[in-house]
Every structure is written in structure tokens, then in C-alpha cells.
């Protein structure tokens, strides 16, 4: 039945064209923003997952900053350990020289005094952002160890924080070279034993700091990879496949043109009824 009051063909064509226009708008938005899913209404489940992953990615960036700061602090301390080690070896060499009979022990003692002062200056300067791992029993006057944020872990029970700790090394006390005395053969022999003990203390403390530096570097590399993988995962979930979207856009534009034509044909159908009344 044909009716001039109800044009079913036009209604169907209009609904189809409206659906095509909606899809076309969504595709254009996806292309212009670069994201297939921009809001929760696009896909609530995927949007929710992506937001959690974005929060994790930001957390990893904070961890990277903390690790970088820790690496710099430990790196300064490690450089100081290397420098002090060289100076202690020089002191040891001077003490051995003092064991000779025809030497100026006073001059050698003065040289050792200068080297001792140099060690003290290095220890005092081995700080980064107010944290010094070498000049006492505390890192900053309060904490006995440097705490470096190393990871933020998400689980079903919530968020867990992991840290790398680097204990303070008291070089000021343990490397006190006032026990070096070149007065006679007996004190020189004792001084030689003392400098060996200082070198042992230095290598032990240096190993602790070196191990911490290595662990921080390894964790930085790992966190960087995890952050990159997380961002890639977010992209796989919400980013627009531009090739697919381009093909879809062309198809929808063609459908839109056909829909407009179909609606035009449907709207012109009632006018053919005029022919029946002529």
C-alpha cells in the first residue's frame, strides 16, 4: 500500500543515513585524535583498562626520576671512593719509603699530611643534593641509609612500593689517618699495618656502594623497558589503526552518498501518485 501520509521507504532511508553519519563522525574523530577510544562510552571496559595502564606508566616515570637521582648520588660516592683509594695507595707508598734509612721522614710525613687533607676534602665534597654516603653514620644528618624508590607494583590487593637502600659509610671515622706515625721503625711498621686496614675498609665499603650502583642501573634499564611496553600496550588498546580508519572513512563516505540518493528517491515516490489522478 502506498500512502501520502506515511513514507516507509523514506523513514528507512533516513534511519540508515543517520546511522552512516554517526559512524562517519566516529571515524573522523578517531582519525583526527589518533585514538579509537577517547571516552568511556566508546568502550567502557577498554577505557577503564587503559586508564589504569596510563596511571602505571606515570608511576614508572616517577620511579625513573627516583632511580636517576639515586644513581647520581651513588655515582658521586663511587667516584670519591676511587679517588680516595688512589690517595691511600700513595700514602702506603710513602710509608714504605719511610722504612729506608737515608730518607727525610719529616718531609714524607708532611706529604702524608697533605694527602690526608685531600682525602677529607673529597669526603666532604662527595654529596649530591645534600646526601653524602661517605662522611658519617647518616646520609643527610638523619637517615642512616639512602632510600631509592625502585618499583611500583600493582596487584589484586593494591599498590606495593619497592626500594633500594644504600647504607651510609663512615669514612670520616674509619679512614682517620692520625694513626700514621713515621717517628721510628716500630711506628712505621704499625703505620703500614694501619694503612692496610684502611685500604681493606675502603674496598669493603666501595664494594657495597658499587653493588648498589649496579643494582640501580639494572633497575633503571628494567623500568624503562616496562614503561615502554606499558605505553605500547595502551596504544594497542586505544590508538587508531590509521590504515583501517582511512579505508573505513572512504567506505562510509560512499555509503553516505548512496544513502542521500536513496532518501531522495524515497521522498520522490509519493509524487508519482499524482500521475494516477490525471
Give me the pLDDT at residue 5, please: 64
Q: What is the pLDDT of residues 24-72, one digit of tens each?
A: 888 888 888 888 888 888 889 999 989 989 999 999 999 999 999 999 9
pLDDT at 274: 65
The pLDDT assigned to 30 comes to 82
pLDDT at 275: 67
Determine the Cα–Cα distance for residues 238 and 48; give it in Å rounded to an integer. Answer: 11
Helix (H) or strand (E) holding 189: helix 185-238
pLDDT at 3 over 70: no
Tell me the pLDDT tens digit for each residue of 204-243. Answer: 999 999 999 999 999 999 999 999 999 999 988 888 888 8
Q: What is the DSSP string of 94-122?
A: HHHHTTSSSS-HHHHHHHHHHHHHHHHHH
Mean pLDDT on 76-87: 96
Q: Give the residues across from 135 on adjacent strands.
A: 170
Cβ contact 35:235 at 8 Å: no
Nearest 5°: the CA angle 88, 89, 95 is 90
pTM of the shown model = 0.78
Exposed, middle or buried: residue 131 (CB in 10 Å: 0-12, 13-18, 19+)? buried
Tens of pLDDT along 246-264? 898 899 888 888 888 887 8
Q: pLDDT (tens digit, 9 = 90+) per residue, 105-129?
A: 999 999 999 999 999 999 999 999 9
User: Are the C-beta atoms of residues 57 and 136 closer than 8 Å to each other?
Assistant: no
The architecture that CATH gives domain 48-238 is: Up-down Bundle (1.20)
Q: HSE (CB half, 13 Å, CA atoms) of 48? A: 4
Domain layout of the chain by residue ranges: 48-238, 241-269
Amino acid at each position: 500500500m502506498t500512502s501520502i501520509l506515511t513514507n516507509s521507504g523514506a523513514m528507512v532511508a533516513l534511519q540508515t543515513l543517520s546511522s552512516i553519519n554517526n559512524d562517519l563522525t566516529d571515524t573522523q574523530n578517531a582519525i583526527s585524535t589518533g585514538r579509537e577510544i577517547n571516552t568511556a562510552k566508546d568502550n567502557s571496559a577498554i577505557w577503564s583498562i587503559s586508564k589504569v595502564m596510563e596511571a602505571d606508566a606515570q608511576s614508572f616515570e616517577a620511579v625513573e626520576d627516583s632511580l636517576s637521582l639515586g644513581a647520581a648520588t651513588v655515582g658521586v660516592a663511587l667516584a670519591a671512593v676511587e679517588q680516595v683509594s688512589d690517595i691511600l695507595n700513595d700514602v702506603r707508598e710513602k710509608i714504605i719509603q719511610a722504612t729506608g734509612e737515608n730518607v727525610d721522614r719529616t718531609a714524607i710525613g708532611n706529604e702524608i699530611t697533605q694527602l690526608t687533607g685531600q682525602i677529607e676534602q673529597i669526603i666532604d665534597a662527595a654529596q649530591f643534593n645534600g646526601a653524602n654516603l661517605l662522611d658519617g653514620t647518616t646520609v643527610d644528618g638523619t637517615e642512616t641509609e639512602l632510600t631509592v624508590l625502585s618499583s611500583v607494583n600493582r596487584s589484586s590487593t593494591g599498590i606495593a612500593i619497592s626500594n633500594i637502600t644504600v647504607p651510609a659509610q663512615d669514612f670520616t671515622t674509619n679512614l682517620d689517618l692520625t694513626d700514621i706515625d713515621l717517628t721510628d721503625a716500630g711506628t712505621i711498621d704499625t703505620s703500614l699495618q694501619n694503612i692496610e686496614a684502611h685500604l681493606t675498609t675502603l674496598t669493603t665499603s666501595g664494594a657495597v656502594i658499587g653493588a648498589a650502583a649496579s643494582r640501580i642501573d639494572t633497575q633503571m634499564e628494567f623500568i624503562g623497558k616496562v614503561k615502554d611496553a606499558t605505553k605500547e600496550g595502551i596504544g594497542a588498546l586505544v590508538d587508531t589503526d590509521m590504515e583501517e580508519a582511512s579505508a573505513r572513512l572512504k567506505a562510509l563516505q560512499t555509503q553516505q552518498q548512496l544513502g542521500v540518493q536513496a532518501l531522495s528517491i524515497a521522498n520522490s515516490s509519493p509524487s508519482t501518485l499524482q500521475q494516477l489522478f490525471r
